[in-house]
Amino acid sequence: MSQYYKPNRNPGWNYGGPRWRLSRSKIDLFMNCPRCFYVDNKLGTARPPGFPFNINSAVDALFKKEFDFHRKAQTKHPIMEEYGVDAVPFQHPRIDIWRENFKGVDTFHEPTGFTISGAVDDLWVNSKEEVHVVDYKATSKDGTIDSLDQDWHVGYKRQMEIYQWLLRRNDLTVSNVGYFVYANASRDREMFDNKLDFEVTLISYTGDDSWVEPTLLNIKTCLDDPRVPKASDECEYCQYREAAGKALVKNKEERLHEKVAGVSESKVGQKNDTLF
């Protein structure tokens, strides 16, 4: 069992507790399934975490070093030159906090009383003093990655839009245009030879954060309701969870029944022993 996964977390971290905050990933969980979101935030049982992707983390760390070099020099990174982006990495006294997991960019949202937060990968600033949100991605796929056209990319787009919304509430002038710096490891080499070759592409995305405010109000309504939201019919995990739960209860009842029957039979046996 993972040393990090605690199915029953300290209630101080649940909704209503002093340490609860609404992270960008929790908003995404709500959009995917209000029931799982509720079980996590209100009842205190989160889904088990996925395995950490260490290669992705290494790519992120190296991108960060590269862009920090250009941040310090206030020069364009080669990918900005290649794609004709009129920007340099953004210098700001809070940039390291905004990029740090478990800190990030935060804001207090008065209508809900929520503190909302999310850690960005990077920010660039253009010649009009507008800030662009930047996200680093790493993967390994055939072909060149030059668009976000898959259904599951909706999560990436929402992520970008939440960051734009958070930064606007931190008094920055934020462009609707954000960038994904995509590193794609090639599988076309003859041999591994202790190396991965990456093709790095830049994908721009024009965000629209107008959904964030109404979603926060929906989240508040969900969390303040004592009823657990319905499960999605399409989610195989919930069907599994329900079926497994019923199977376990049935098994327990059968064993209990056998035990009770066994006790009665031995009592009958004892009585019979005394009779004969």
The span of 30-38, 69-77, 89-97, 129-137 binding ligand SF4 (CB under 6 A) equals: 30-38
Residues 6+ apart with CB under 8 A from 56: 137, 138, 139
- 32 or 170: CB nearest ligand SF4: 32
- 139 or 232: CB nearest ligand SF4: 232
- 22 or 120: CB nearest ligand SF4: 22
Considering only 21, 35, 153, 169, the residue that binds ligand SF4 (CB under 6 A) is: 35
Residues 191-250 that bind ligand SF4 (CB under 6 A): 231-232, 235, 237-238, 241
What is the smallest separation between the CB atom of 232 and ligand SF4, expressed in angstroms? 4
* Residues 196 and 178: beta-carbon distance below 8 Å: no
The span of 31-39, 59-67, 118-126, 181-189 binding ligand SF4 (CB under 6 A) equals: 31-39
Residues 84, 177: Cα–Cα separation, whole Å: 14
- 202 or 235: CB nearest ligand SF4: 235
- 69 or 240: CB nearest ligand SF4: 240
What is the smallest separation between the CB atom of 41 and ligand SF4, expressed in angstroms? 12
- 79 or 238: CB nearest ligand SF4: 238
The span of 28-36, 75-83, 166-174, 213-221 binding ligand SF4 (CB under 6 A) equals: 28-36
Residues in contact with ligand SF4, counted by CB under 6 A, come to a total of 9
* Residues 86 and 76: beta-carbon distance below 8 Å: no
The per-residue b/e assignment along 99-119, b for 16 or more CB within 10 angstroms, e otherwise, is beeeebbbbebeebebebbbb
Which residue, among 186, 221, 207, has the nearest Cα to 134 in the 3D structure? 207
- 109 or 229: CB nearest ligand SF4: 229
Considering only 33, 80, 133, 216, the residue that binds ligand SF4 (CB under 6 A) is: 33
What is the smallest separation between the CB atom of 48 and ligand SF4, expressed in angstroms? 12
Closest residue to ligand SF4, based on beta-carbon distance: 238
Considering only 14, 20, 26, 36, the residue that binds ligand SF4 (CB under 6 A) is: 36
Using CB under 6 A as the criterion, which residues of the chain lie in contact with ligand SF4 when the complex forms? 33, 35-36, 231-232, 235, 237-238, 241
